[in-house]
Amino acid sequence: MTATSLDELGPVDYLVVEFPAGKSNFTGEMAAELLALVDSGTIRVIDIVILTKDEHGTVEAVELADAGELGELQALEAELAELLAEEDIEHLAAAMEPNSTAGVLIWENLWAAPFASAARRAGGQLIANGRIPIQAIIASIEADEALASVGD
């Protein structure tokens, strides 16, 4: 990867979505929504790995290509960069509960790349970023509401 392409790289995020045993319901909707994000140029998928953790905590990782019939995800699989190393997978699996399956998704936020590049050209450097869980926002709102009701 050249210095130029690195300068144009958008922020790269990851998420781990866990499916407790017996609670998964794969209808293809997730794949369709993911492909829509790719097709619209919103994101570029960099890596996908599927993890399973048994009741003893043993983790198995499966490459997307080895996950069976991929359907529409077949085209996506060909473009994956295999960014994650084995140790990353161990770190990510630490968040999983026993008897669960999880999908790990790594993606580049293409929508943010032009702004990030502009910030770098302006001399800025990223010193903090993150994601606020929706649960935390809900809790904050509820706490405010509770506080307000005490004052009534």
Partner 1 sequence: MPLRAARVGRVGVIGAPVARTAARTAVVAKAVTPGPAPVAKTAVVAAAVTPGRPGRRRRI
Q: What is the DSSP letter of 104?
A: E
Q: How far is the CB of 82 from partner 1 (least distance, A)?
A: 5
Residue with token string 């293409």: 110
Kindly state the tokens that stand for 113: 């790349």
Give the whole-angstrom CA distance, residue 35 versus residue 26: 15
The SS3 call for residue 84 is coil
25 binds partner 1 (CB under 8 A): no
Positive or negative torsion for Cα 95, 19, 129, 61: positive
Which of 42, 82, 98, 124 is close enough to bind partner 1 by CB under 8 A?
82
137 binds partner 1 (CB under 8 A): yes
57 binds partner 1 (CB under 8 A): no
Which of 7, 54, 79, 144 is close enough to bind partner 1 by CB under 8 A?
144
21 binds partner 1 (CB under 8 A): no
Which of 9, 37, 61, 76 is close enough to bind partner 1 by CB under 8 A?
61
Strand partners for 69: none
Give the whole-angstrom CA distance, residue 31 versus residue 63: 16
Which of 41, 68, 133, 151 is close enough to bind partner 1 by CB under 8 A?
133
Of 72 and 82, which has the nearer Cβ to partner 1? 82
Strand partners for 103: 17, 50
Of 35 and 89, which has the nearer Cβ to partner 1? 89
Which of 30, 70, 89, 105 is close enough to bind partner 1 by CB under 8 A?
89
CA 107 from centroid of its chain's CA atoms: 7
**Which residues of the shown chain bind partner 1 in the complex (CB under 8 A)?**
14, 16, 49, 59-63, 66, 82-92, 94-95, 133-144
